């Protein structure tokens, strides 16, 4: 009977509806991403060939980006990028796990209700038209209202398939009750940001998807004197997503997917093998160098982790590496993608703090070099009992491998140089990266229409998950600003004094603790605006501080309980996440040592800078 039920849940009509709905959303997102690329690329070509862009291109591109996030929002609640924390739930007995799943889905349903009903309220209330295109402003909010409605449907189908109809109905009913309760008034006046943090934190520990837990948490402040009713939440969310700078995210993701689908990433691996394959633990060192090289094209650690788990990890296991150690190596080296430019983490940081993207990218090169060296040392010291050193490659073999890898290496060079020297903006550079990757793959006849379609669908889905997280963090950040949390945070990081060393130490400790419980993107969006003023007041360089902040938080891609990079690799390889967390400890140690080196350099810079300027 149980076998028949499982087959029915995976092949029955409701399961087919769920699969069709997911496929329709992925395909629609791919089409919107393609249209977005064509609009931005047309503006770039017109600007550089004819000396002026289109008046309407920026506004249309922003609207298409909002549509892309809205279309993919339902997938961000149920897909592999839902950012669910299930470590604590797995420790519960069977009955407790079931209750926790119902509560987690109830929080997700509540967040979806906020999106659906709050978006509908704003669409009714708002008036006016966009500045250039003349489109009705209510369309933007109606799109997210529809996204909330589709999320409710997809969540219901998902929970029904995973846990059964009874749990699905119970979760939906409880979610609707929670939503109704947030519209009630209470006499208690509590700090709104504290209420939001506690509610969202509880939802996250239960396993609710992070963006929807944040939305549910902010909406829970309404009965306690909160200043953000549902329409304001959705309006702030749309405002947080609708930034032209963020358009670079889908394009860098798409460029990385095209290189992967087109086989150019594998050429990087072959080139890396000729450089370090003869070293001790040569295959693991090859994984490190190829990851550093691929970082110049991808900008996404998650994408690199998934690619490494599919391509590098099986080879490591075949050479004698225990599966957990192979997974730990792939996860560890993947963190470089969000450090070595172009980096999506730096784009998110720049959007939250208005720091210069070009300067952050330069700092990322320095930090990436230090981290790569640290990981090389960690691999050399930790790998035992594996004899995988290959014969030293000849100069001719290295030359041929370099020629084969030049198309992929050139992408990162062109993009970063163009941004740093002001030849192109970050958004233009990301669009050119897509054009470059597509042209290189087509010229080498390594990419067909199916590969392009797959890359578009994957990049669109990842973009929607990241964009929704950015948007969901915006109302939460507003509550933190209203409650003047930045002043309290400044007092915390200056508790040992206002000097650069004391602030550096305490800021790192705050980030190390917060990163255990916050997703990397959410931590950047919420903590960077709070910590940066205190760092600047202590005399620290804001760019250097931003780089150290991203490095600190990226290390948490390898730490429990969140450890997104570990979960991605362990999921692809089907290795228990706990075993990977244990195997990654040596690499964590060297990464923390590298963080200390970068932090001490940053703290010493205010005293060294005058002497350095005098020398030059």
Residue 573 lies in a domain: yes
Cβ-count burial 87-110 (b if 16+ within 10 Å, e if not): bebeeeeeeeebbbbbbbbbbbbb
Give strand ranges (E) for 249-371.
Answer: none
292 and 201 in a common domain: no
193 and 50 in a common domain: yes
The count of other CB atoms within 10 Å of the CB of residue 616 is 4
231 and 310 in a common domain: no
Residue 584 lies in a domain: yes
Q: Is the pLDDT of residue 521 over 70?
A: yes
C-alpha of 83 from chain center? 10
Q: How many residues does the chain have?
A: 616
Q: Is the pLDDT of residue 614 over 60?
A: no
Geometric angle at alpha carbon 568, from 567 and 572, rounded to 5°: 110
Q: What digits encode the pLDDT tens for the residues 238-291?
A: 988 888 778 888 888 888 788 778 877 777 777 877 877 777 777 788 888 877
Residue 433 lies in a domain: yes
What is the rounded average pLDDT for all residues in the chain?
Answer: 82
Higher pLDDT among residues 352 and 232, named by residue: 232
d(CA 76, CA 72): 7
**Measuring CA to CA, which residue among 450, 115, 405, 418 is closest to residue 274?**
405
Which two three-digit tokens encode residue 58? 């920026």
Cα Rg of the chain, angstroms = 24
Mean pLDDT computed over 411-416 = 72
Mean pLDDT computed over 220-244 = 85
Q: Cα separations (Å) of 567 from 406, 572, 587?
A: 32, 9, 16
d(CA 206, CA 209): 9
262 and 232 in a common domain: no
* Domain edge (last residue) among 211, 242, 273: 242
List the single range of 324-333, 391-400, 415-424, 584-593 with lowest mean pLDDT.
415-424
The owner of tokens 């449907």 is: 153
Close Cβ partners of 84 (under 8 Å, ≥ 6 residues apart): 104, 207, 208, 209, 210
C-alpha of 494 from chain center? 30
213 and 254 in a common domain: no
Q: Are 57 and 39 in contact (CB under 8 A)?
A: yes
Residue 461 lies in a domain: no
Q: Is the pLDDT of residue 216 over 80?
A: yes
d(CA 363, CA 368): 8
The count of other CB atoms within 10 Å of the CB of residue 539 is 15
Helix axes 564-573, 323-334, angle to 10 degrees: 140
Q: Is the pLDDT of residue 3 over 70?
A: no
Residue 185 lies in a domain: yes
256 and 236 in a common domain: no
- Per-residue pLDDT at 375: 92
Residue 504 lies in a domain: yes
C-alpha of 154 from chain center? 22
- Per-residue pLDDT at 341: 79
Q: Is the pLDDT of residue 299 over 70?
A: no
- Per-residue pLDDT at 606: 65
d(CA 201, CA 539): 33
- Per-residue pLDDT at 610: 56
434 and 528 in a common domain: yes
Residue 199 lies in a domain: yes
pTM: 0.82
226 and 261 in a common domain: no
* Domain edge (last residue) among 218, 242, 266: 242
Q: What digits encode the pLDDT tens for the residues 4-62?
A: 444 445 567 888 888 899 999 999 999 999 999 999 999 888 888 887 778 888 899 99
C-alpha of 120 from chain center? 28
Q: Are 272 and 289 in contact (CB under 8 A)?
A: yes
SS3 594: helix
d(CA 468, CA 157): 21
* Domain edge (last residue) among 182, 210, 242: 242
Q: What digits encode the pLDDT tens for the residues 470-503?
A: 888 888 888 877 777 767 777 777 776 678 888 8
Number of domains in the chain: 2
227 and 288 in a common domain: no
- Per-residue pLDDT at 237: 92
d(CA 140, CA 240): 13
Domain with 64 in it: 2-242
Q: What digits encode the pLDDT tens for the residues 149-179?
A: 999 999 999 999 888 889 999 999 999 999 8
d(CA 426, CA 359): 12
- Per-residue pLDDT at 9: 52
- Per-residue pLDDT at 273: 77
- CB-based burial of residue 6 (10 Å sphere; 0-12 exposed, 13-18 middle, 19+ buried)? exposed
Q: Cα separations (Å) of 138 from 65, 132, 354?
A: 16, 15, 28
285 and 164 in a common domain: no
pLDDT-above-90 percentage for the chain: 22
197 and 265 in a common domain: no
Residue 613 lies in a domain: no
316 and 212 in a common domain: no
């Amino acid at each position: 009977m149980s076998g028949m039920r499982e087959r029915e849940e995976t092949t029955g009509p409701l399961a087919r509806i769920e699969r069709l709905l997911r496929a329709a959303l992925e395909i629609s997102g791919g089409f919107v991403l393609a249209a977005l690329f064509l609009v931005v690329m047309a503006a770039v070509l017109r600007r550089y060939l004819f000396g002026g862009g289109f008046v309407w291109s920026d506004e249309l591109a922003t609207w298409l980006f909002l549509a892309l996030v809205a279309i993919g929002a339902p997938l961000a609640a149920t897909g592999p990028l839902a950012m669910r924390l299930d470590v604590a739930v797995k420790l519960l007995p069977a009955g407790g796990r079931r209750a926790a799943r119902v509560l987690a889905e109830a929080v997700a349903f509540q967040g979806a209700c906020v999106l659906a009903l709050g978006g509908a309220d704003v669409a009714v209330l708002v008036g006016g038209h966009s500045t250039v295109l003349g489109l009705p402003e209510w369309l933007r909010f109606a799109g997210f209202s529809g996204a909330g409605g589709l999320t409710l449907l997809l969540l219901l189908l998902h929970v029904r398939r995973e846990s059964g109809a009874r749990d699905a109905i119970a979760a939906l009913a409880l979610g609707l009750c929670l939503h109704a309760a947030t519209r009630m008034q209470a006499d208690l006046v509590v700090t709104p940001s504290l209420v939001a943090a506690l509610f969202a934190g509880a939802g996250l520990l239960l396993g609710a998807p992070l963006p929807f837990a944040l939305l549910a948490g902010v909406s829970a402040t309404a009965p306690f004197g909160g200043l953000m009713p549902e329409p304001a939440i959705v309006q702030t969310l749309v405002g947080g997503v609708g930034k032209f700078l963020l358009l670079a995210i889908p394009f860098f993701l798409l460029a990385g997917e095209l290189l992967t689908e087109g086989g150019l990433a594998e050429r990087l691996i072959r080139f890396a093998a000729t450089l370090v394959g003869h070293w001790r633990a040569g295959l693991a060192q090859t994984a490190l160098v190829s990851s550093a090289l691929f970082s110049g094209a991808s900008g996404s650690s998650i994408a690199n982790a998934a690619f490494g788990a599919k391509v590098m990890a099986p080879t490591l296991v075949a050479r004698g590496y225990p599966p957990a150690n192979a997974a730990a190596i792939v996860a560890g080296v993947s963190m470089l993608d969000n450090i070595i430019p172009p980096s999506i983490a730096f784009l998110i940081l720049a959007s939250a703090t208005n720091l210069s993207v070009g300067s952050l990218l330069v700092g990322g090169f320095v930090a990436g070099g230090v981290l790569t060296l640290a990981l090389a040392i960690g691999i050399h010291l930790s790998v035992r009992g594996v004899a995988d050193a290959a014969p030293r490659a000849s100069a001719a073999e290295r030359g041929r491998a370099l020629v084969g890898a030049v198309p992929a290496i050139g992408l990162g060079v062109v993009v970063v140089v163009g941004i740093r020297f002001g030849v192109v903006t970050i958004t233009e550079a990301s669009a050119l990266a897509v054009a470059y990757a597509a042209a290189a793959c087509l010229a080498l006849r390594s990419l067909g229409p199916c590969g392009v379609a797959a890359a578009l669908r994957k990049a669109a889905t990842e973009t929607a998950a990241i964009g929704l997280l950015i948007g969901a963090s915006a109302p939460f950040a507003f509550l933190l600003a209203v409650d003047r949390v930045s002043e309290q945070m400044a007092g915390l990081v200056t508790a040992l004094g206002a000097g650069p060393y004391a602030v550096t130490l305490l800021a790192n400790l705050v980030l190390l603790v917060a990163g255990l419980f916050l997703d990397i993107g959410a931590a950047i969006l919420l903590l960077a605006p709070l910590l940066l003023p205190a760092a600047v007041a202590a005399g620290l360089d804001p760019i250097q501080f931003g780089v150290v902040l991203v490095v600190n938080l990226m290390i948490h891609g390898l730490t429990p309980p969140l450890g997104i990079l570990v979960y991605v690799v362990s999921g692809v390889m089907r290795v228990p996440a706990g075993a990977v967390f244990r195997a990654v400890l040596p690499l964590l140690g060297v990464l923390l040592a590298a963080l200390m080196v970068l932090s001490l350099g940053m703290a010493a810079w205010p005293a060294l800078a005058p002497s350095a300027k005098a020398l030059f």
